A and B are shown apart, each in its own frame.
Chain A
Amino acid sequence: MAERSFKAEVADLRKGAGETFTGEGILAITKALLENGVGYVGGYQGAPISHLMDVLADAEDLLKELDVRFEANASEAAAAAMLAASVHYPIRGAVTFKGPVGVNVASDALANLASSGVTGGALIIVGEDYGEGSSIMQERSHAFAMKSQFWLLDPRPNLPSIVKAVGDGFALSEASNTPVMLMVRIRACHVTGQFQTRDNQRPPLSVREALAKPQRNVSRIVLPPMSYAQEHDKINNRWPAAERYIRDHQLNERFGPEAAPVGIVCQGGMYNGVIRALQRLGLADLYGNTQVPIYCLNVTYPLLPDEFSAFCAGKEAVLVVEEGQPEFLEQAFATMMLRSGSSTRLHGKDIFPMAGEYTGQVMKDSLETFLRQHAPNLLPAQVLAPNTEAPAIPDLSKTVPIRPPGFCTGCPERPIFAAMKLVQKELGEHQISADIGCHLFASLPPFNIGGATMGYGLGPASNAAFDGGKAGGAEKRSIAVIGDGGFWHNGLSSSFGNMAFNKSDGVAVIVDNYYSAATGGQDVMSSRAKNPTKATNNPISKALRGIGIDWVKQVDRTYDVAGMRDILREALTTDTPGPKVIVASSECMLNKQRREKPLRSAAIREGRRVEAPRFGVDEAVCTGDHACIRLSGCPSLSLKKLDDPLRDDPVASIDTSCVGCGNCGEVAEAAVLCPSFYEARVIHNPSALERRLNGWRQGLIGWLAKRRQSRRLSFEESAA
């Protein structure tokens, strides 16, 4: 079950000609695929295109009606490989994943696909996770397009442009027999807007029909001598064909006046940022009417030298707005200008910063610098000489704490890392590697566990150098952490196959939270949910045994901190040879709450007995040392200042968002912390017997307590 349901939005995907679609960019892309007669779709979830996969999953009925095949692929490589269907068959296919990590994983398939060339339109939709809030290393997918020779679309970030790019992409792909990558930046994926819909199209040839009439074309097989021919075909035929198509269909756009001393060349995705900066400089209006000519590259690869040189003609200077590094576009333009002997000055990364996101401020500053240099008379007087000094705002950089992501309230991964911290207190610090997924948050405070993440499913593999462990004469073993998502993505073969084959002595902890949780709670093979269209309920431990790993410990309640600690200790100290693997399973709390909360509320409403646990802290007992927080970091476990003049430090306090997971109590117990925690379990709709029993008990307890109270001095409760 995915984090967000798109069942309601899926209705919008049925809209026909002349209707208006209102919604998110990701949904618009899905609609565009259907309008363009796509025959099959697939992909692998991850920000920012997770929702695209979730929409497709929720739209399976519609896809079936249209005879469109949908696969939730096992990885980005599997997704890219699926495009092989378009190699021999005139079927349009689209896959999606996040870039650049997804592109890295898929690069083998993409390179083969690009070499083969395609018959049907093949579209790779890449959610570019770059800049603020990005969860990955900052790299450009652009390099892959250049090295493998496929085309890269980077449309302007509004719904009509993105929708148009989907259709253009398919057509360009077919016109040039080349796969096309459609890149959508993170904010464009989530941008909302409107566009006019068209009718959905059934694929002219469905995969079902293609299966009945298999086709093959030897020249498209990537083997010598065909692969040599394919390289020449790319350069001699496919590239010129692409250029022709881009030029004839005006995929790139020109804005602003024909004649001007300066011009701006930008990636399509940068267009809105450029316009905003020009608006702020008084050189463009709200509707994009600009006084500075703009050559907007909705196709960033290949580039058209003739279009570019026509744009430069008569201009003193042009500025290339290209986010990320290296500056591929600028270098290409520089080569073109050098070869043609152009006298126009080329600017780009000499003004813009080489690295980092082109924020509003960067864009405005850089454009202003460029214009001051080459066209100061265009700039309004107020920009040239601002007459007001901005007042000094107090510096808060030392006041405002950073707020990195962390485990959610009640997360079942928290106790695993609390246990790991406790084991390290006993056995010393260990070499710990991590993978991709929620568990990576353990590398941040308060746990500070794990120092490396080499890629999805590669956690244990990244400890391979340390695999000798104690068996290799070392004092300690290495520990690797990986999630269930990573396990099924690539981990089983690349990490655990590697460990088993090399007789690793290392310890691996598989954090099994029943979902691909970090990407939004999609099902994986070991999910416990019943999924009508996917094979779930395949235990991880069974897969491990299948590849010859025998020391496998299954933990079915990770909240048992002491138990977790003991199993970790055992794995680190046992004499058993070979990999030691712990499968730590408990359901992702976010998903669990989403599943159970409505059921619980209904049960309470209907008068059934429901136990609702929540934790609390006795503030009179808490001494304000915060040791519990250093083993937790739970959002619901916070601090509160008492209005007691005798107290210096705030005490622990649990707010109403507590879901009663039990971690606080277990940690206090396992780490011998302090006796301030209590669990209060409210019984909704208790039975009559329970109620009566409770009445007697509370009566007696109350009497005892009050009797003592009456014999001593009492003050109003000392802490408020």
Chain B
Amino acid sequence: MSVTFPPPADAGNVIKLAILAVGGQGGGVLGGWIETLARAQGYAVQATSVAGVAQRTGATIYYLEMAPAGPVAPVFSLAPAAGDVDVMIAAEMMEAGRAILRGFVTPDRTTLIASTHRALAVSEKMVPGDGIANADEVRAAAEVAARGLVLADFEAAALKAGSVISASLFGALAGSGALPFPVEAFEAAIRSSGKGVEPSLRAFAAGREAALAGNVPAPVAPLPRAPGSARGPEKLTKRWQALTDRVSTLPAAVRPMALAGLRKVVDFQDLAYGASYLDRLETAARTDHGTDNAFTIAAAKYLANAMTYDDVIRVADAKTRPERLDRIRAEMGGAEVMQLTEFTHPRAEEVVSLLPRALGQAIMDRPRLLGFIDRRVNKGRRLRTDRLLPFLQLHMLASMRSWRPRSLRHAEETAHLDRWFATALDRAPRDLALATATLQARRLVKGYSDTHARGLGKFDRVMEGIAMVEGRDDAADWARRLITSALQDEEGVALDGTLQTIRSFLA
């Protein structure tokens, strides 16, 4: 019991350090190293954590306080407080965002050390479109909120060293200079743990170097790769040259997309098909009366995607390319012997749609016959494509490419494409922005079997919605809104909402 009235308090010289990590990132290991380090350096340390269920892929927090040890034990807090954290280590970019959001990063005191890599949350991944959160916003906020900022991809640094991110972040902490301890003391802490010491030390060094390099600028989004030249028999490369010459007659802004599209279309089928792509694209270019070529660029992109629909032949082709095997082998660490299993599940529709148009349609119109075929075809098939026979199966399927234009699927896809493209062309003179959005709706058609059917369904509903708003000044805005909402969830709940809104103001 203290009876003296102490002088005005000084709560200084405590270092408060928090680690925000995703379960499984080794935040506990990192906390342990820091604790060992500080104790060895003559500090009184306290560490706490809230593990619980959060350790299973959830966000977890570790918290440490330290102060030079004296005769009396300091009273440390067990939880970080907003505005009262000296060092914040975030083991992932959105966790850095969470730390800022929770007020743990403040300009007067906090050194923020964060890894710029992303471990996507389920909510970001499950969206049918692009649901990935915007890391640039977090970066911008970090620049305002932190007193000192150390940003780099510490995950990549650790992986390169054959270790885990806890080690590279420990290196970043050393490099940041936020703790008054020498590098050797950090390394000693890793050594004293006795587990995976060498890889950890390598990752530590990599992390420290990245931190010393300073605030690593945001990676500039890579420009669309300059379309490389085509290789192949001279006869073909000459004709390819002719097609690329046609691309050069298009407006400059359109050319990169047109070339990428042309490449994709030719790669999918052949040069003649590429020529028909350019025919359509040139029609779009002639119709485009805008100043920014947006309509033609959208046409270049979505015509290519629509023309290269996902059929069995394309899949078989993609899976039997020579460079694919090399790529997988490299990804798996350059293994000499590797078994490769493909998971496929064809349905009767996929098989029948490869038949000649008339025959295929005749079968499609007979549900019992289709059911008969489906019972024989429709099952999961695993192909060991490292073996000769299964590989040959796919190889032969891929060689049906030349047959493709006569197939039922091709007829259906072409008809669908023509209807959609004609609609867009038709709208262009009256409302170019709406026509562009009409082209962009094609983004909704993707996937295989059920997914593809659902995508088509959404596409149809969006097209109906666009038709409803046509003629209004804000038609293009609504069209874009329809597309965005269609990409938000699987069942199209958000899309229904948007359609409902449109109906309500039209009524």
Please list the residues of chain A having a beta carbon within 8 angstroms of any beta carbon in chain B: 22, 47-48, 129, 131-135, 157-158, 160, 185-188, 190-193, 253-258, 271-273, 275-276, 278-280, 282-291, 359-361, 363-364, 380, 390-397, 399-409, 438, 441, 444-446, 518, 562, 611, 614, 616, 618, 620-621, 623-627, 629-630, 633, 635, 637-639, 641, 643-646, 648-650, 656, 664-666, 668-675, 677-684, 686, 690-691, 694, 697-698, 700-702, 704-706, 708-718, 720
Contacts and interface: CB of A to CB of B under 8 A. Distances in A.
Interface stretch (B179-187, B230-238, B423-431): B230-238
Nearest to B232: A713
B448 A282 contact: no
Contact of B133 (A272, A400, A648): A400
A618 B324 contact: yes
A285 B11 contact: yes
Most chain B CB within 10 A, of A400, A641, A649, is at A400
B57 A406 contact: yes
A621 B232 CA distance: 23
A638 B263 contact: no
A319 B50 CA distance: 28
Given A286-B74, A678-B341, A698-B386, A254 B141 contact: no
Given A285-B9, A643-B225, A705-B395, A402 B343 contact: no
The 10 closest A-B pairs by CB, nearest first: A360-B81, A669-B380, A279-B11, A133-B50, A405-B58, A623-B446, A682-B335, A276-B77, A285-B9, A705-B322
A654 B115 CA distance: 20
Given A394-B140, A646-B304, A665 B343 contact: yes
B22 A713 contact: no
B404 to A, nearest CB: 14
B228 A401 contact: no
Contacts of B61: 132-133
A690 to B, nearest CB: 6
Contacts of B134: 399
B310 A623 contact: yes
Contacts of B52: 47-48, 129, 133-135, 186
Contacts of B233: 710-711
B144 interface: yes
Contact of A645 (B228, B301, B332, B344): B301
A325 B158 CA distance: 45
Interface string B112-133: 0000000111111111111011
Given A187-B78, A677-B343, A133 B237 contact: no
B125 A714 contact: no
Nearest to A393: B145
B94 A403 contact: yes
B507 interface: no
5 contacts: A190-B47, A253-B1, A276-B76, A361-B103, A715-B231
A678 B343 contact: yes
B448 A675 contact: yes
B335 A683 contact: yes
A446 B122 contact: yes
B192 interface: no
Given A618-B318, A713-B237, A649 B129 contact: yes
Nearest to B335: A682
Interface stretch (B197-205, B363-371, B449-457): B449-457
Given A187-B50, A698-B325, 14 more contacts: A158-B73, A190-B50, A280-B84, A287-B74, A396-B141, A445-B126, A621-B319, A624-B130, A633-B126, A637-B125, A671-B450, A678-B342, A678-B343, A712-B232
Contact of A191 (B1, B46, B319): B46
A680 B138 contact: no
Given A361-B81, A396-B101, A438 B56 contact: yes
Given A400-B133, A402-B121, A718-B264, A408 B56 contact: yes
Contact of B56 (A129, A283, A402, A407): A407
Contacts of A698: 325, 386
B217 interface: no
Interface string B323-347: 1110110011101111111111101
Given A193-B46, A701-B391, A187 B9 contact: no
B188 interface: no
Contact of A665 (B128, B333, B341): B341
Nearest to B64: A192
Interface string B51-66: 1111111111100000
Contacts of B228: 715-716
Most chain B CB within 10 A, of A402, A405, A408, is at A405
Contacts of B343: 664-666, 668-669, 675, 677-679
Contacts of A616: 328, 331
Given A623-B310, A646-B260, A702-B322, A48 B224 contact: no
Interface string B158-194: 0100000000000000000000000000000000000
A644 B53 CA distance: 39
A697 B60 contact: no
A611 B335 CA distance: 11
Nearest to B8: A282
A709 B336 contact: no
Contacts of A718: 263-264, 267
A630 B140 CA distance: 31
B291 interface: no
B3 interface: yes
Given A191-B78, A697-B388, A717-B323, A645 B224 contact: yes
B148 interface: no
B320 A646 contact: no
Nearest to B398: A708
B14 interface: yes
A683 B337 contact: yes
A569 to B, nearest CB: 16
A208 to B, nearest CB: 36
A716 B263 CA distance: 10
A668 B345 contact: yes
Contacts of A279: 9, 11
Interface in B209-261: 222, 224-225, 227-228, 230-233, 236-237, 240, 256-257, 260-261
Interface in B13-46: 13-14, 22-24, 35, 39, 45-46
B344 A675 contact: yes
A278 B319 contact: no
B267 A360 contact: no
B271 interface: yes
A406 B122 contact: yes
B53 A686 contact: no
B315 interface: yes
Most chain A CB within 10 A, of B47, B50, B94, B237, is at B50
A614 B50 contact: no
A289 B58 contact: no
Contacts of B78: 157, 185, 187-188, 191, 272-273
A112 B305 CA distance: 73
A694 B72 CA distance: 70
A428 to B, nearest CB: 14
A22 B39 CA distance: 10
A258 B264 CA distance: 83
Contacts of B305: 646
Given A393-B145, A396-B138, A441-B56, A650 B11 contact: no
B357 interface: no
B150 interface: no
Nearest to B489: A630
A698 B324 CA distance: 13
B94 A400 contact: yes
A394 B139 CA distance: 10
A39 B380 CA distance: 60
Contacts of B266: 713
A672 B56 contact: no
A283 B337 CA distance: 69
A712 B344 CA distance: 26
Nearest to A684: B335
